[in-house]
Amino acid sequence: MSKKNDNYPRKVFSTSIAVLCALFVAITSILYILYKGWSAKLDFEKWKDYDECGI
């Protein structure tokens, strides 16, 4: 009966590592998208006065 549960801690550890990696990738992706949007907005605000100059 104990042979069934011998791999349980290893399975829990590997599953939790996979879930943590997936969460890290998801959070990093969301932060990157927000950063790029914020950066594009700042760039647009910076250069909107020069639209009429023809540059």
* 49 within some domain: no
Q: In one letter, which amino acid is 8?
A: Y
Separation of alpha carbons 18 and 5, rounded Å = 20
CA atoms within 13 A on the CB side of 34: 6
**What local confidence, expressed as pLDDT, does residue 13 receive?**
86
- Is the confidence at residue 1, as pLDDT, over 60? no
* 17 within some domain: yes
* 13 within some domain: yes
Outline where the chain has alpha helix (H).
8-47
Total domains present in the chain: 1
* 26 within some domain: yes
Q: In one letter, which amino acid is 48?
A: K
* 54 within some domain: no
What is the span of the domain harbouring residue 20?
8-43
pLDDT digits (tens, 9 = 90+) for 12-34: 888 999 999 999 999 999 999 99
- Cα Rg for the chain, rounded, in angstroms? 24
**What local confidence, expressed as pLDDT, does residue 54 receive?**
64
pTM of the model: 0.66
* 53 within some domain: no
